[in-house]
Structure 1
Amino acid sequence: MSPRLFPRLLKFLQDAPLPKSQHNGNVRRRKRVSMKNSVPEMPSFTSDGRTRSILLDDANPITEGHLFDTILTVRGVHRFGGISTNRSDANFLIRLEPVRLPSSQGVREQQTLVPDDVEHPKFKPRRSTPACYVTCRKDIIPYTTRIPLPKLSPNLSVSPLCIGYQLRLRVLQELDLLTQRLAELWTIPQRLLRRLTSSEWQIVQQTNTIPCKDALALLVVPPVHIAFVS
């Protein structure tokens, strides 16, 4: 751009009128849906029994869609990979809490995000500390540190291997609890879930078959270590 154009451009900008604001300062917001008011019944979109278009009705879901909103529709769908701070849809989320890493004097403090509620509460009680929730997907975990989280250190790290280990550990814990419940409720000799004897396990290793009639599956899992909390 030529230097001669700068004075003319500045004069043009000074003389130009100010743009008109699109609103007068009062932002119109959508009213919050009440949990007490009843929602009208959704009309049919078929032409059966109609003499005029549905658009001519006083309350129709096309031009007056807010009248048919419910609490469930207002909450929306959980975003793919989104971060949340509440407990909605917690069954599909992993709670990550920050833990300080040991560092030497003069080195900037670093924190890592570790899962807090993956294990069963009987084996590991949850702690009431500041945390965030992330979607339980393997391809999302590495990108968690790129999202700015309030009140947490900017030097965050996360270990997908640690999360995967605790998810597998949760499966073992659920199996252990299921075995205990079945042992209390199931009184007939033919139990639904039981351990193989040493001789039966040897037959499985030698023949690659289950020596039990009508058996559906064989689960090979390591023993679960229960952490007793005083």
Structure 2
Amino acid sequence: MPRILPRLIEKIKSQASLGKWMPYPLLKARKKAKSLYKRVPPRPSFKYSSYPCSILLESGNPVVNAKDWVRHKTLPPTLSRPGSADASRADVPRQMTEAEFGWRANPYLRMMASPLRKCVATSRHLPSDLLIRLVGVSAPSSVLRRNGGAPQSVLTPDGLLHPKYTSRRRTGGGLYVLCCRRVIQKLARERFKNIASPGAVLHGRTEEHIAHLLRLRVVQEFELLAERLEHAMFTGKNFGGSNVILRRLTRDEWEMLKTSGTSPCENAVAVLVIPPINKDRITKQRPTGSMSPFPPQDELATKELPPTSTLLPLSLNSWSEELPTILPLLKVPLYNGVSAFPSRPQRVALHGILQRILRAERSLRRAHMKNPSSNASNPEKRKSSHAYVLFSDAQTAKRGDSASVARALWRLKMYDGEGWSLTQSITPTTYIP
């Protein structure tokens, strides 16, 4: 060892001026989507009179070359316009059509299109967006010592946060329950014996943990929307149409909404009331924003709060007379920010993200408008209220995914029991806006 160290030090000094050698590239090339689609030949004839000899002796016969008639799906359409591609290919990448953008902008259609899973509380198959997935994880050693060392696993929620911020637990097994607080409270032990050990338990604060993760998912979706709009603002690309994704209601519009009880905005999917956070009475400072996945303590110290949301019908002027009267009126959920987000640090983070979206919208609108001086009728030039309106249509879907924000808000509404009809059996409400 004494003879190796001097030589090793000299070797290190001689290579100190050289750059670091990276055996692998830092950025991996993105794999191109592979398509198995090919044009299928016309339907062959299996009549013996159509062939002068045996069908097996014909070249390209459907018996020996049966794979030539196998049908494959084409590549899914993309949000942005694809680059130049070889026109001779059978499957050329394409952008979504206006109808497909409209389907993507519908949050309730996307919720109904999610994969079906069986609920252990009702034994019914429902879309996974209406359910909560629970998986079993090993209990910490402190819990094992407290319970005499017996093997134990704890059921925890999985898949509630966005994949960008956390990874899902691929345990190979899990159960699904209704996205409802009352169902989590009444979960019996025998309900989840099929996926976990007999010692599986629910944590005492699972109910609060799920509620916090659902609120955090809303903040994450708003942040992703803000990042996409800011990217379009800095790069000068993806302006899309002139439709606004998020704006604040004026005070006149807010007073009209409270007086009439109807939503004055078309293509709106949510109205969110988030007032700015006041300073603390003792420290004279505002709390800092927090997006921690751990439940904060100030959520438990809340008083009696109004409902998380209420449904507002659209104004009669926007209702089409051509539609039959048997269809229910289209309604827009109005979310109370204090009830939906009782934690002050989380509400501060959400309010800051909403301001980022408004700044990006103003910059994009100024760059998109041909005559910026003729904006006297712009609603934002008048005094604004603390109510934010979220829009989603075929034009806004090209600029940002506001439908995912509406889905996250609706899941929070369902968890508080406002999206279900809880009678003898727990079933979804017949009304879906």
TM-score (norm 1): 0.45
**Higher strand residue share:** 2
Bigger proportion of residues as helix: 2
Q: Bigger radius of gyration, 1 or 2?
A: 1
Higher RCO by CA contacts (8 Å cutoff, separation 6 or greater)? 2
